[in-house]
Amino acid sequence: MQTALFIEQLLNGLQLGVMLFLMAAGLTLIFGVMGLINLTHGSLYMVGAFACAAVAAWTGSFWLGLIASLAAAAAAGAVVELLVIRRLYGRDHLDQVLATFALILVFSEGTRWLFGSFPLYLDIPPLLSGAVSLPGGAQYPLYRLAIIAVGVLVAVGLWLLISRTRLGMRIRAGESDREMIGALGVDVATLYTLVFALGAALAGLAGAMVGAIQSVQVGMGEPVLILAFVVIVIGGIGSIKGALVGALLVGLVDTMGRFLLPQAFGLVMNASQAGLVGGAIASMLIYLLMAVILAVRPRGLFAAQG
């Protein structure tokens, strides 16, 4: 039973990591190409979840909802980029933080305006609602395995996009020298809007998928946003590979810490106290991990920026 529980927690950690990767990939891409720190990313995650829940409730189909979440988040991202973000590329980080912080207020309150304060619920599609038997005899929800699979697919897809396509070539060129690619005739403004919308769509996808295992509510994106920041700081800002490694590391350390630490403390103190102490320390664990990694490598594991 203990091994079964262990494997289950390991998979939960993997699933959290994969979801964080979808968020962190967009954030790190946007920072790498445009040099922009984007707090709105958590709001785009929320937009994806709400679009999925609303369309799924209206049509009865999760799959249509999933498509809607991609479209809505990408569209919201593109509109925000065209109206606001575009004016921030030349500004310092302080202005970017502030403007995107203001956008969070607008997005959160706007969503509450449209959908009310009560959380929405999104059902897992029937096709994925079963469970799979794990070695050791435990049952694991199929849907969570599907999330892991989607994350792996997206990671491979992103890698192909960036290393094998013309758009990817432009993104890489934009990371190393944005003036030069403009001079070579690449429409930089459109490229930036595309990258922003791509990042937004990934965030929306993450929001929609997680929406089916948690409730869909205003503010759901903010804890995820901050975890995604930890991920890209650990991985090295601007590096997709770093985002992947960082996301898996954070997902696994967080989940396993919450699972194992109370047990470890249970060896030296009574169970209820061990639960409290272990739980409190587990909630700080990924930040301690970040501190240790930064103490050794201040620019993250795979620093992309010089």
Partner 1 sequence: MAMRREHLVNAAIALLLLAVPLWASWAGQNFYVTLATRIAILALAAVGLNIALGLGGLVSFGHAAFFGIGGYVAGILASHAVSGAPLLGFLPGTKLMPVIWIVAILASGFVAAAIGAISLRTGGVYFIMITLAFAQMIFYFALSWPAYGGEDGLSIMLRNAFPGVNTLRPLPFFLICYTLLSLGLLLFALIRGSRFGAALQAARQNEVRTASVGIAPFRIRLVAFTISGMVTGVAGALFADLNRFVSPSMLSWHMSGELIVLIVLGGVGRLYGPVVGAALYVVLEYWLGGITERWQFFLGLVLLGVVLFARGGIVGLLAGRARHD
Q: Tell me if 269 contacts partner 1 by CB under 8 A.
A: no
Taking CB under 8 A as the criterion, the residue among 7, 75, 82, 97 binding partner 1 is 97
Q: Tell me if 206 contacts partner 1 by CB under 8 A.
A: no
Q: Tell me if 271 contacts partner 1 by CB under 8 A.
A: no
CA angle 156, 161, 165 (to 5 degrees): 140
Distance CA 106, CA 112 (A): 10
Stretch that binds partner 1, among 18-26, 55-63, 110-118, 190-198 (CB under 8 A): 110-118
Q: Tell me if 94 contacts partner 1 by CB under 8 A.
A: yes
Nearest to 65 by CA among 154, 125, 2, 137: 125
Taking CB under 8 A as the criterion, the residue among 11, 24, 72, 104 binding partner 1 is 104
Distance CA 275, CA 43 (A): 33
Residue 27 CB, nearest approach to partner 1 (Å): 10
Query: DSSP assignment, residue 128?
Result: G
Residue 183 CB, nearest approach to partner 1 (Å): 26
CA torsion angle 144 149 151 157 (round to 10)? -160
Distance CA 82, CA 87 (A): 9
Stretch that binds partner 1, among 59-67, 69-77, 155-163, 226-234 (CB under 8 A): 226-234
Q: Tell me if 291 contacts partner 1 by CB under 8 A.
A: yes
Taking CB under 8 A as the criterion, the residue among 112, 128, 159, 173 binding partner 1 is 112
Say how many residues touch partner 1, by CB under 8 A: 42
Q: Tell me if 87 contacts partner 1 by CB under 8 A.
A: yes
Q: Which amino acid is present at 249?
A: L
SS3 of residue 61 by DSSP? coil
Q: Tell me if 295 contacts partner 1 by CB under 8 A.
A: yes
CA angle 233, 205, 302 (to 5 degrees): 20
Stretch that binds partner 1, among 51-59, 165-173, 260-268, 280-288 (CB under 8 A): 280-288
Distance CA 26, CA 305 (A): 16
Q: Tell me if 283 contacts partner 1 by CB under 8 A.
A: yes
H or E, element range at 68: helix 62-83
Taking CB under 8 A as the criterion, the residue among 10, 142, 162, 222 binding partner 1 is 222
84 phi and psi, to 5 degrees? -120, -55
Taking CB under 8 A as the criterion, the residue among 57, 102, 127, 189 binding partner 1 is 102
Report the DSSP beta bridge partners of residue 131. 141
- Using CA atoms, how far residue 128 sits from 54, 165, 206, 209, in Å, is 20, 32, 17, 12
SS3 of residue 136 by DSSP? coil
- Choice between 160 and 291, CB closer to partner 1: 291
Residues 22-81 that bind partner 1 (CB under 8 A): 31, 37
- Using CA atoms, how far residue 155 sits from 17, 25, 45, 107, 262, in Å, is 12, 9, 18, 28, 33
Convert residues 113-152 into a mask of x (bound to partner 1 by CB under 8 A) and - (unbound): x---------------------------------------
Binding residues for partner 1, rule: CB under 8 A, are 31, 37, 84, 87, 93-95, 97-99, 101-106, 108-110, 112-113, 222, 226, 229-230, 232-233, 237, 276, 279-280, 283-284, 287-288, 290-291, 294-295, 298-300
